[in-house]
Amino acid sequence: MRQQHIEPTRLLLYLCGKTSSQSHKVISKSHCLDDGENATVFGYPVSICFIVLTGFFERFSYYCMNGMLVFYFIFFLNFNQTDVGPIKQAFDVLFYLTPILGAAVAELWLGKFKTIIYLTSVYVVGLVILTLGASHDITDNLDVHRGLSVFGLLVIALGIGGFSPCMVAFGGDQFQDHQKKQRSSFFSIVYMSINTGVVAATFLNPVLRGQECGIHSQQRCFPLAFGVPAALMAVALILFVAGIRMYNKTESNIVVRKPKIAEVKMVLKVLLLYIPLPVFWTLFEWQRSRWVFQTDNMAGNFGALVIQPDQMQIAKPVLSLILVPIMDLVIYPMISKCKLNFTPLRRITVGMFFVALAFVASALVQIQIDKTLPTFPSSTEAQVKFINMVNRTLDVKAGTNEFTLEPYTVLTDRNYPNIIKRTYRTRSTIVIIQDGAQPRPLAFNDFTQTPRESYIRFFNGFGSNLNILLEMQQVPILPNDMSHYFVILQENDQFKISNDAGEECVYTYNLMASGSSYTLIIPPTFTFGQNCEQNILSVKDIETNKLSIGWQVPQYFLLALGELMVYVTGLDFSYTQAPRNMKSVVQAGWLLTIGVSNIILTILNVAEVPTLQPQWAEYVLTASLLVLVCIIFAIMAYFYTYTDQTKIEAEFGHNELEDRKRKSSVGQDKHKLSLTIYIQKKETDMKRKFQLALDLYFSCHFESLQGAYI
């Protein structure tokens, strides 16, 4: 090989094969090496660019499609909400089980390159079928839509099975034996492309969900929601085919040579090490989903920015994108300089420990959340709030409790076990109004748990009908009646109160925050005018979330760091420890650990395993189980012996050469033996013929002598 350099401004022309003879003369100052098909950029094969971009578009497509399935099942296919979870989980299981089939096809029949081409095409076809099944203009028959959709998802699962294990293994095949560092970084780049696809899909999915389309009627535009992933997957296929002349297409060797027993043992040794991983991934996903519910009880307000609970999940892929270059360029080199033997299995073990620490951090956050949560009634209590809308002091007796209510005042935080005997664990607001000469109580139900958003409702204590204009909604309220709750979409907003006479009052609220609910009382003394706001009584039904959602960042940081160390190292380890002709199989085995964890999650969801209370105790239990899995894996890793693939392949090559020599020697010996036998046989035949001729001669000569004598 000879090293050549290309100026950065001419790099693109050089990669496109359009360099002029003049540009070849200045190839002396770049990091680009050209050796026929093995062109490199900054030490990486050029083919890696096509593979990484293909992987990004595939993951982008996958997460766009996968993020739509729950909404699609509920709002278009009309599946029961209770059935959607297991159905979605079943397809997730299938997506991680089919890589075994794809790896077998690659290693036993087509090779990785052709398998990627063919099954990626199948992937695109599956997305097209799903898009057709989501089109409500084709037919109104729901069974047809369901059939096409299920068939499309099955075809997609088959395509994913060929793409996922083969693409990673095929990317590793592009590197030479001396490019171990670059190959290890390649798996980090693959992980970054996955998380970039997650982030991109997170921003695109709400836009796609909000579109409407249709020829005969306007509905949710699921054809667009699945058509975009189909187009992205087609782009991925085109990009992969575009780099066809750059690839090192190492085809399957099993067709030529059956795997040695030692190679099979190598694969089994790696897969045996993966036995604890399904439990790890199960705990990882099972409890990480609970963090969304934890966010429900936290304040997502950062000034004008409001973060919704489900949006906080984007923190992990974003932090992963930040941590990958830091770990590869700073942390790991520093550990190497300290002469610490930080082997891949030790990285995975430490990564598991960081994930366990993430759940310890979530338990600490949960303890602080519990301190700020409002007190809700127990199973033997009913929580009641009294509002006096009568213009005089009232003496109220509830069971054995007596208290006084001043005019237009609120009495809150009262738990009375004996007031409501028919229903317990309820929260009510009792508004006392003037009904003729006597006061009369009116009861209205309140929230019995902290809501995810902020809500507001209105009570009309005024003597006539009122209209409330809030968030573009016109709501009429009769006298002495309560409206339903409205979701508050933003802070510092306004609503307008008007009556049939055309009088108006504009009320600006700036006290709403996530997880809160308010009742605004319009009293009998209310008057329209400039100071009308002062007449409105605000009652806080549920306190706002006080603990900032920012306190979840440390646990997401630890989770991202742990997953990075486990997943990226697992990809690298699966490649380097697999025989050259079975690398896709081991990659599929790595993905299979996630598939098995999805099976366990499906069983847990269907069985409706009860949660441990309080919630922080469940997080602590999860952390403890993760530490146990970590210890088991560390013990198994301690007894694992690493294999040097270069030496193994050299040994296999040497053994094959010796076998050929031995077989050749045996063949030569057999040839010599057969030749000796042939010669001996010829000699025997010649001797026999010579003896026969001699006997004939003497017989004839004897007869002639005998005749002469007579």
- What DSSP assignment string belongs to 46-83? THHHHHHHHHHHHHHHHHHHHHHHHHHHHHTS---HHH
Upper half-sphere CA count for residue 659 (Cβ side, 13 Å):
6
**Whether 143 and 52 share a structural domain:** yes
The residue among 485, 518, 540 that closes a domain is: 540
**Whether 8 and 117 share a structural domain:** no
What pLDDT score was predicted for residue 590? 92
- Which positions ≥6 away from 121 have C-beta within 8 Å? 159, 237
Q: How confident is the model over 341-362, as a mean pLDDT?
A: 94
Upper half-sphere CA count for residue 334 (Cβ side, 13 Å):
6
Q: How confident is the model over 372-380, as a mean pLDDT?
A: 75
Structure tokens at 268: 């089994």
Contact 326, 540 (CB under 8 A): no
What pLDDT score was predicted for residue 298? 82
What pLDDT score was predicted for residue 276? 94
Q: How confident is the model over 226-236, as a mean pLDDT?
A: 92
Q: What Rg do the C-alpha atoms of the chain give, in angstroms?
A: 39
Which domain CATH number covers 188?
Answer: 1.20.1250.20
The residue among 540, 571, 593 that closes a domain is: 540
Residue 61 confidence class, pLDDT cut points 50, 70, 90: very high
Could you give the CA distance from residue 320 to residue 560 in angstroms, rounded to a whole number?
Answer: 5
The answer to whether residue 353 sits within a structural domain is no
Contact 233, 61 (CB under 8 A): yes
**Whether 103 and 5 share a structural domain:** no
Upper half-sphere CA count for residue 451 (Cβ side, 13 Å):
20
User: Quick one: 691 exposed, middle or buried, by C-beta within 10 A (0-12, 13-18, 19+)?
Assistant: exposed
**Whether 180 and 90 share a structural domain:** yes
Residue 363 confidence class, pLDDT cut points 50, 70, 90: very high
Domain count, the chain: 4
Structure tokens at 445: 């139900």
The answer to whether residue 245 sits within a structural domain is yes
Stretch among 41-45, 166-170, 517-521 having the lowest mean pLDDT = 41-45
**Whether 85 and 189 share a structural domain:** yes
**272: how many CB neighbours lie within 10 A of its CB?**
10
The residue among 540, 555, 574 that closes a domain is: 540
Contact 32, 41 (CB under 8 A): yes
Q: Which amino acid is at 300?
A: G
Cis peptide before 614 (omega within 30 of 0): yes
Q: How confident is the model over 120-136, as a mean pLDDT?
A: 92
Q: How confident is the model over 558-572, as a mean pLDDT?
A: 94
Residue 333 confidence class, pLDDT cut points 50, 70, 90: very high
The answer to whether residue 160 sits within a structural domain is yes
Contact 205, 68 (CB under 8 A): yes
**Whether 84 and 223 share a structural domain:** yes
**Whether 103 and 222 share a structural domain:** yes
Stretch (H or E) spanning 520: strand 517-522
Measured CA distances, 491 to 155, 446, 515, 517, 661 (Å):
46, 22, 13, 13, 84
Stretch among 66-75, 329-338, 642-651 having the lowest mean pLDDT = 642-651
b/e code 434-466 from CB counts within 10 Å (16+ = b):
eeeeebeebebebeeebbbbbbbbbbbbbeeeb
Residue 110 confidence class, pLDDT cut points 50, 70, 90: confident
The answer to whether residue 153 sits within a structural domain is yes
The answer to whether residue 354 sits within a structural domain is no
Nearest to 370 by CA among 549, 551, 616, 548: 616
What pLDDT score was predicted for residue 632? 96
Residue 22 confidence class, pLDDT cut points 50, 70, 90: very low
* Alpha helices, H only, 577-644: 583-607, 615-638
Q: What are all long-range contacts of 600-603, with beta carbons under 8 Å and residues at least 24 apart?
A: 600/278, 600/279, 600/282, 601/89, 601/282, 601/285, 601/286, 602/86, 602/89, 602/90, 602/93
Helix/strand/coil (H/E/C) assignment for every residue in 220-267: ECHHHHHHHHHHHHHHHHHHHHHCCCCCCCCCCCCCCCCCCHHHHHHH
**Whether 394 and 429 share a structural domain:** yes
**Whether 23 and 107 share a structural domain:** no
Global pTM value = 0.76
What pLDDT score was predicted for residue 254? 44
Nearest to 612 by CA among 372, 376, 363, 426: 363
**Whether 129 and 180 share a structural domain:** yes
Structure tokens at 433: 């109004």
Enclosing domain of residue 107: 48-258
**667: how many CB neighbours lie within 10 A of its CB?**
10
**Whether 84 and 5 share a structural domain:** no
Nearest to 276 by CA among 570, 559, 568: 570
The answer to whether residue 271 sits within a structural domain is no
The answer to whether residue 498 sits within a structural domain is yes
**Whether 463 and 504 share a structural domain:** yes
Could you give the CA distance from residue 366 to residue 612 in angstroms, rounded to a whole number?
Answer: 13
